[in-house]
A = this chain, B = another copy of it.
Amino acid sequence: MGVTMRDVAQQAGVSINTVSRVVNGYGEISDATRLRVLAAIEDLDFRPNVLARSLVSGKSLSVALVIPEITDPFFPEVTLGVESIARSRGYSVLLCNTNDSPQQELEYMDILAGKQVDGIMICGSRLNEEQLTASASRHRLAVVTSRKPSGAAVISLRGELGLFQSTSHLLRLGHRIIGHIGTSIGSGAERTDGYRRALLEHNMPLDAEREAVVARATVETGRIAARTLLGRRSDITAVTCFNDLLAIGVVQACAGLGRRIPDDVAVVGFDDIDLASLVTPTLTTMHIPRFHLGEMLMELMLRVIGDKGVHEEHLYVDPELVVRESCGARGHPDWPTMQATAEKKEVVTSEGSASSTVFVP
């Protein structure tokens, strides 16, 4: 099957050791033999067996990326960012989908323990702080989470701040009865907290009837939740959501109920997935630099791996409000003022209705 160092050594008429030296470029070797070895390597198309190498070195040059589901539009870009940095540093990425199940996530942590991965990145964990801390004791971990597990390096996506901003945006536009669709898992509660804080800071009452919670954040569940929400509180004029998929569900539900967006109901999402600028109306949302988040995550992972002891770095990623059509800001009398006063970072203008304005908090 594979050609080994022994084969190369034989072909070049040297010892295995010499081949190893040439391959790894250390020690003193005469140019003559080096060339002969190199020729043999070329000739036999030899490739060092990474497995054997790893067994000796204790490093497998492979890392795992654990995510709920790659089909959720949030994750492909993160994954691409991770993989791009990984490859540039010689690492391979094992992709692990947990199907949103904590059990499967734990099961994967178990499997990976045997696979000898050098580190594990978790993005969108469904584990609680305790479980994460436990995992961190067995693995080198880099996690994107709002929890604070010890022993792991973490990147926090400021979801609380994000929903504070999206909700505040709607309040600025004059909305008073604002609903929210959150999730019961992962970082859902945190984002709902942001929604609530925005209301409280504007002296608005909290009302459980204006909040809906879904177990999985999809277009489907968003549609259902929106129908429930608008059904029991018909005075709701705006809704903030845990993510864009839910927001699109709200848009669909409104279409079904004959409510116009943004005139009758204003909607703001979260994530700024590609979909957000492709649906009608285009979605106002909180932008997350997903590709960059992936890059950060892998770079953090490398630092964790490089450190001998525990590495508890803590980084933050902030969402940015992207104003498109679904919130109704553009039709608002104050819109020119808002545009002018906001510290506008960048205006991405594209074809027709696909323009958007990005604000820095």
Contact = CB atoms under 8 A, between A and B. Distances in A.
Interface of A: 1-2, 45, 47-52, 54-55, 58, 60, 62, 65, 69-71, 73, 75-77, 79-80, 83-84, 92-97, 110-111, 113-116, 138, 219, 223, 248, 252-253, 255-256, 275, 278-280, 351-354
A138 to B, nearest CB: 8
Contacts of A2: 116
A293 B275 CA distance: 24
Contact of A113 (B47, B80, B111, B353): B47
Of A45, A113, A248, chain B has the most CB atoms within 10 Å of the CB of: A113
A116 B252 contact: no
B60 A71 contact: no
B351 A256 contact: yes
A65 B92 CA distance: 12
B114 A252 contact: no
Given A76-B76, A97-B83, A1 B58 contact: yes
Nearest to A227: B351
Nearest to A90: B111
A114 B70 contact: no
Nearest to A279: B278
A252 B352 contact: yes
Q: Which 4 A-B pairs have the closest CB atoms?
A: A280-B280, A47-B114, A95-B95, A70-B76
A259 to B, nearest CB: 12
Contacts of A55: 49, 51-52, 55
Nearest to A60: B51
Contacts of A84: 97
A80 B97 contact: yes
A80 B70 CA distance: 7
Given A51-B55, A95-B95, 4 more contacts: A49-B114, A79-B95, A255-B351, A275-B278
A211 B252 CA distance: 35
Of A79, A111, A115, A279, chain B has the most CB atoms within 10 Å of the CB of: A115
A264 to B, nearest CB: 15
Contact of A79 (B49, B70, B275): B70
B94 A94 contact: yes
A76 B354 CA distance: 25
Given A79-B95, A275-B275, A255 B353 contact: yes
Nearest to A99: B84
B92 A94 contact: yes
Of A58, A95, A248, chain B has the most CB atoms within 10 Å of the CB of: A95
